[in-house]
Structure 1
Amino acid sequence: MDLSTLTQEIFSKLEQKWLCNGEDKKTRILSIDGGGTTGIVAGTALVHLEDQIRAKTGDSNSRIVDYFDVVAGTGVGALLAAMLAADDGNGRPLFTARDAVKFLIVKQSDLYKPVTVGVFRRKKRFSSKSIDNTLKDALRRDDGKPLTLKDTCKPLLIPCFDLKSSAPFVFSRADASGSPSYDFDLWKVCRAALATPSMFKPFNLSSVDGKTSCSAVDGGLVMNNPAAAAVTHVLHNKRDFPSVNGVEDLLVLSLGNGPLCNRSQFEARRNGDCSTASVVDIVLDGVAETIDQMLGNSFCWNRADYVRIQVIRSLLSLYFI
């Protein structure tokens, strides 16, 4: 499927029920998978969708988050989600979808700057200092104020896995707004989400008041597709979503980032051995597709309210312009 056809399919599915502001408006969730380092698949879809929204509404200032009530992301999808939802200080998004994707591509070498470690310097990892500085510079307002988790235009959900508690930890604006003990610098939240074990060491972070801490790795290992976490959050958050009683009150757009594991790579290995990085890819793909199947079943009586956009690997060669 080429990109123009993909855009038309997304927009045709969303336009009638999702982009209207009628009395029967449902709570709309945008979920962005982890996977890869550029997020190019989900990012490109978001750029074209935002362009279509502007063309349809005639408003050049329209943003993706204007049409969603909750944004969730894992891994590189978390960084995309955070950039789309970040507040510029005037209640408007700090980044357009195009700006966010351009940042991921232009800053690719800074986010993932290789370093070699180990006795024989054969183990490849990426520089923590480089990615830290890049995220700090991006996730601050024009006046230099660093953003925290509660500084977002719309509710934001970003999962990681906490090695201290051996359990998932979900950063949310709802929790951050309720207590400084659950408010974290936004760059640290994204850094935690990007700490894939095969690429970075675990990332230690604390809340703004220092009372809550975790040792984080990429939440994709347990929640690469964060759509189910977002649905659960909305269903149980009566303070922000009092009118939601069940999935019949939700609309979910879930964007995949393409499969990470390539079957041909394993078929080419005579002994069937898998590298550590390949095992991580398999886990991420498996988690994402399992969540997709679960949500598909949950929305079986109203399938049009759950849209999952995933692509074949051949689309991963597309480059953002």
Structure 2
Amino acid sequence: MASTQGSSPRTNGKVITILSIDGGGVRGIIPAVILYSLEAELQRIDGPNARIADYFDVIAGTSTGSIVTALLTTPYTPPNPPANASKTNPPPNASITNRPREAKEIPEFYKKHGPAIFQKRKAPHNSNSGSSLMAVIGFFKDQLKDKLESFLNIRYDNSTLQLTVDEEVGTIRLADTLTDVLIPAYDIEHRKLVTFSSHQERNKVPKSSLPLRQAVLGSAAAPTYFPRHHFQADGKIYNLVDGGMAANNPTLLAIREAINIFGSRDDNSPFDWILDLKRGIPPLASLLFETSADMVDTYTSIFLGGGQNSRHQFLRIQDYTLNPKQLKMDKATEDNFNNLINIAKQLLDKPVSFPSSWIGLEPTTTNRNALGRFANDLSKIRGDAAKKLSRR
């Protein structure tokens, strides 16, 4: 079952819930606002202590999505807790030691730290950054070599990104997240996808010491923006760049992870709720990544049975109407963040979108209404799980 450290049971044994968050730089504020809306609805139903991590068996995030994943699933100490707060007398909305932060704080995280992370400082042109981009070139082989060579100069160093992740995530191990998480990255030395799994790390003997921050920094090391992330843990050496190189949409990886944790299901509804959060269709330069990501949605809908029945299992929220200026992943200005927040709020009132395999099916509800239904079902699932646990 999913990790229960500092968190209540979230599965009733019959239903598995998955949250998937794509990459996209500063555009990660869009799914952050969506999650704020979902958590607010859960708090309306279950009380102010409800947190996203309480309701999902697996949370997967790529690139900036890995940062959101970490913020949602790690214990959080409020910056100014009440003077009388302690382990035995926690503040009303979050305990000191073992509860995650509220989702409403994540949009503010982007606004606070984004400008410094994407400040115009070029990384040193050394073997680290150079080999990173050359490995990316090798990944795409000769047909894209000329285009990628124009990006050989990394735009930003990663010192502020590292400092920010260190401050927000701390020293917590990947094995100790408050629910099971999955974070993909791409190893440029071995030319392969690496998936960091809290479930796998927790079940290693001896228990893994791999820090969560290392997985996040590896997944967020976007080529052309940041240098690769190099580290050693548990006897392995990693040279990582953005997980979007191979899995910008981690939904299928999350499904595989759930199967690894819970086993295959005998019925026709193996995963009753999957929430897939995206952040807009990017310009042509990222088309290859996004084509692959959209195919993941199609495969997911097929896996769930396709057509009308899948609507009740797979909710994807994405805006297809953003213009190129709104899609820059490093435009970390106050005006742009406010625009992206407004875009997310407007997206909530737009009709639900469906994977390409469902073209021709008329939307029946808005994203906001779908999230409301989602929240009610999640609350019921968690309530059934708590009752089941109390009877043991």
TM-score by length of 1: 0.77
Number of the residue aligned with 1:76 = 64
Q: What's the secondary structure of 2:25's corresponding residue?
A: coil
Q: What do the CA deviations read for 1:45-83 (whole angstroms, capped 9, x no partner)? A: 0011111111122x0010111111110000101110111
* Whole-angstrom CA distance in 1 between matches of 2:185 and 2:247: 8
SS at match of 1:71: strand
Distance 1:247 1:112 in 2: 46
Cα pair 2:176 2:202 within 8 Å, conserved: no
Q: 2:35 aligns with which of 35, 41, 46?
A: 46
The one of the two structures with greater contact order (alpha-carbon pairs below 8 A, sep at least 6) is 2
Aligned mates of 2:189, 2:11 — CA distance in 1: 46
Decide which moves more: 158-167 or 298-307.
298-307
1:163-206 CA-partner distances (Å, limit 9, x unpaired)? 12211000010121123685421222111111111101111122
- Which of 104, 112, 125 is the equivalent residue of 2:110? 104
- Provide closer, same or farther for how the CA distance between residues 247 and 83 of structure 1 changes in structure 2, counting only shifts above 3 A: farther
| 2:189 equivalent in structure 1 | 164
Q: Aligned pair 1:228/2:248, yes or no?
A: no
Structure 1 or 2, whichever has the larger Rg, is 2
**Displacement of 1:37 after TM fit?**
2.4
- What is the deviation of 1:35? 1.4
Cα distance 1:183–1:174, how it changes in 2: closer, same or farther (>3 A)?
farther
Distance in 2 between residues matched to 1:183 and 1:308, nearest whole Å: 34
Which residue pairs with 1:312 in the alignment? 320
Match of 1:125 in 2: 155
Residue 105 of structure 1 deviates from its aligned partner by 1.9
SS of the residue 2:322 aligns to: helix
Inter-partner Cα distance in structure 2 for 1:42 and 1:54: 18
- Could you tell me which residue of structure 1 aligns to residue 224 of structure 2? 198
Cα distance between partner residues in 1 of 2:41 and 2:265: 28
Among 290, 298, 302, the residue aligned to 2:295 = 290
- The match for 2:200 is 175
Corresponding position: 1:188 with 2:194? no
Provide the rounded CA distance (Å) in 2 between the counterparts of 1:130 and 1:318. 22
| Residue aligning to 1:4 | none
Aligned with 1:81: secondary structure?
helix
Q: Indicate how the Cα distance of structure 1 residues 243 and 90 shifts in structure 2: closer, same or farther if over 3 A, else same.
A: farther
CA distance in 2, matches of 1:67, 1:190: 22
Give the Å deviation of 1:110. Answer: 2.5
Describe the SS at the equivalent of 1:83: helix
- CA RMSD in angstroms, aligned pairs only: 2.6
Secondary structure in 2 matching 1:150: helix
Return the match for 2:236 from 204, 207, 212.
212
The alignment partner of 1:30 has SS state of: strand
Partners of 2:341 and 2:250 in 1: how far apart?
Answer: 25
Question: Does structure 2 conserve the Cα–Cα contact (< 8 Å) formed by 1:36 and 1:260?
Answer: no
Shift in Å, 1:252: 1.0
Deviating 4+ runs (over 4 angstroms): 21-25, 180-183
What amino acid does structure 2 have at the position aligned with 1:102?
Answer: E
The one-letter amino acid paired with 2:281 is: P
Q: Would you say how many aligned residue pairs link Structure 1 and Structure 2?
A: 270
Q: 8 Å contact 1:175–1:183 — kept in the other structure?
A: no
1:248 is matched with 269
**Consecutive unaligned residues in structure 1, runs of 5 or more:** 1-20, 141-145, 262-277
2:305 aligned residue:
300
- Structure 2: distance between partners of 1:45 and 1:185: 28
List per-residue Cα deviations over 1:217-246 (Å, max 9, x = no partner).
1011110000000001111x2xx4257447
Per the alignment, do residues 97 and 112 of structure 1 end up closer, same or farther by CA in structure 2, a change over 3 Å counting? same
Give the match's secondary structure for 1:168: strand
Matched residues in 2 for 1:189 and 1:200: separation? 15
CA distance in 2 between counterparts of 1:174 and 1:24 reads 17
The one-letter code of the counterpart of 2:185 is: C
Cα distance in 2 for residues equivalent to 1:253 and 1:247: 19
Q: Structure 1 residues 69-78 or 304-313, which shifts more?
A: 304-313
| 3-state SS, counterpart of residue 44 of structure 2 | helix
